[in-house]
Amino acid sequence: MEKIKILWRNTIDELLNKVSWPTWDELRTSTLIVLVASLIFSIIIYAIDTSFGFVTEMFYKFME
């Protein structure tokens, strides 16, 4: 039981004193970068999916 208490004490100490937390500006900037990158990536995936769908549809129409 003592080991668990020590573990929790060390965990809390690490979270409060040793972790380098980002500032609000860094957090906001990082969030914006992730959102923009996700949007760009989803547009690229949508374009590829639509293109493959079109090519597949044309292929099946050609094979009829």
CA distance 10 to 47: 49
CA distance 49 to 13: 49
Domain boundaries, the chain: 22-64
Helix (H, G, I), strand (E, B) or coil at 22: coil
Residue 26: both structure tokens together? 């860094």
pLDDT band at residue 64 using 50, 70 and 90 as cut-offs: confident
* pLDDT at site 39: 99
pLDDT band at residue 14 using 50, 70 and 90 as cut-offs: very high
pLDDT band at residue 49 using 50, 70 and 90 as cut-offs: very high
pLDDT in tens, 29-48: 999 999 999 999 999 999 99
